Amino acid sequence: MSLHPCRHLRFVITLFLGSSLISFAQNADVAKLPPVLDVHVHAMDANFPGIAPMCPNTSKFTASDPKGKEEPFGWVKEPCTPALYPSAPGEYMKDVLAEMERLNVTAVVFGDPRSVQKWKDAAPSRVIPGTAFSNGMTPGQRVPIEELRKSFTTDGFKVMGEIGLQYEGLSPSDMSVDQYFALAEELDIPVAIHMGTGGSGRANVIMPKFRGSKGDPLLLEELLARHPKLRVQVMHAGYPMIDNMLTLLQANSHVYVDVAGLIWSYPIKEVNRYIERLVDAGFEDRVMFGTDQLIWPKLMSYSISIIQNADYLTPQQKRDILYNNAARFLRLDTAQPK
Ligand SMILES: [Zn+2]
Ligand 1: distance of its center to the CA of 186 in Å? 24
CA-closest candidate to residue 299, choices 16, 18, 90, 79? 16
Residue 125: its pLDDT value, please? 96
Encode the chain (338 residues) as per-residue pLDDT tens digits.
Answer: 232 323 233 333 333 333 333 333 334 455 579 999 999 999 986 655 555 567 788 876 777 788 877 665 545 556 666 667 777 777 889 999 999 999 999 999 999 999 999 999 999 999 999 999 998 878 889 999 999 999 999 999 999 999 999 999 999 999 999 999 999 999 999 999 999 987 777 777 778 899 999 999 999 999 999 999 999 999 999 999 999 999 999 999 999 999 999 999 899 999 999 999 999 999 999 999 999 988 888 889 999 999 999 999 999 999 999 999 999 999 997 545 44
Beta strands in 132-201 (DSSP E): 159-163, 191-194
| Res 285: pLDDT | 98
Report the helix count and the strand count for the chain, using DSSP H and E.
13, 8
Distance 192 CA to ligand 1 centre (A): 9
| 258/244 Cα distance (integer angstroms) | 15
Contact between residue 161 and residue 193 where contact means Cβ atoms under 8 Å apart: yes
* Predicted pLDDT of residue 46: 60
* Rounded (to 5) percent helix, strand, coil in the chain: 45, 10, 45
| Dihedral-angle region of residue 190 (phi above 0 means left; psi in -120 to 50 means alpha; beta otherwise) | beta
Q: Cα of 238 to ligand 1 centre, how many Å?
A: 10
pLDDT of the residue at 231:
98
In angstroms, what CA-CA distances link 145 with 102, 103, 130, 244, 336? 38, 37, 15, 31, 35
Q: Ligand 1 centre from 187 Cα, in Å?
A: 23
In angstroms, what is the span from residue 166 Cα to ligand 1's centroid? 9
Cα of 26 vs centre of ligand 1, distance in Å, is 38
Look at residue 259 and give its three-state secondary structure: coil
Q: Quickly list DSSP for 92-127.
A: HHHHHHHHHHHHTEEEEEES-HHHHHHHHHH-TTTE
- At residue 205, the pLDDT reads 73
pLDDT of residue 60: 67
Q: Degrees (nearest 5) of the Cα angle 233, 235, 238?
A: 110
CB atoms within 10 A of CB 9: 25
Beta bridge partners of 234: 193, 257
